[in-house]
Amino acid sequence: MTATGDPFLRAVEARGLTLPGPLADFHSGAAARSFSGECSITRGRGALIGLLLRLGGFPPAGEGVAIHLELRTGSAGQTQWRRNFGGHETVSSLRFDARRRAVVERFGPFRITMVPETEDQSLDLAISRIAVLGLPLPRWIAPKSSTRESVDAAGRIRFDVSASLPFLGMLIRYQGWLVPE
């Protein structure tokens, strides 16, 4: 894999893991890739949770929401994920962290470090660190996440992303499927 390949694929390979064919194709590292599908989005409640979700650019709640995902890999080893959830755009940039053998994703003021694992033909990601405005959060207050990518019987990429905060509960969960365009 080159220095400009997909951050998830590079982190998986750095850990001596492999992805099943369809997930490896999804994370192929091609310069530009587009996918579309459908998802459901559930948001946590409360003013503080709403503020955090707004700062991260996360979408409103909804069922059967059309999703369009565009992945752009740049020459500097960064990949931009542009998600359009029924007209609401959420953009993040991702890079491979060779020292931690992990993926670092930036949403607005948040920088999240995720460690990949593979299990049962899926890719699982766990948050190992999070920083806000460059300042690391202590583990006891950092969000907990459960993120999984897999492939269903129809060959679609399935995703299930959730995050919660200690003491406050669920931040957001979005789950659904994608197919290449």
- The domain of 173 spans 7-180
What are residue 40's phi and psi, to 5 degrees?
-120, 145
Residue ranges of the alpha helices (H) in 57-116?
Answer: none
Q: Is residue 160 part of a domain?
A: yes
In a domain, 1, yes or no: no
Helix, strand, or coil (residue 174): strand
Q: Are 118 and 124 in contact (CB under 8 A)?
A: yes
**142, part of any domain:** yes
Which residues lie across from 93 on neighbouring strands?
80, 106
Per the DSSP assignment, residues forming a β-bridge with 65 are 39
Q: What pLDDT, on a 0 to 100 scale, did the predictor assign at position 67?
A: 97
* Pairwise CA distance, residues 29 & 93, whole Å: 14
Into how many domains does the chain fold? 1
Q: In this structure, is residue 105 part of a structural domain?
A: yes
Strand residue runs (E) in the chain: 32-43, 62-73, 78-85, 88-97, 102-107, 110-119, 122-132, 135-136, 144-151, 157-165, 169-180
Residue 28 lies in a domain: yes
Ranges of residues in the chain whose predicted pLDDT is under 70: 1-4, 29-32, 75-76
This prediction has a pTM of: 0.88
Using an 8 Å Cβ cutoff, are 165 and 45 in contact? Answer: no
Does residue 72 sit within a domain?
yes
Whether residue 2 is contained in a domain is answered as no
pLDDT at position 6, please?
85
For the domain that residue 47 is a member of, what is the CATH number?
2.40.128.20
Residue 172 lies in a domain: yes
Reading the block at residue 32, the tokens are: 């530009």
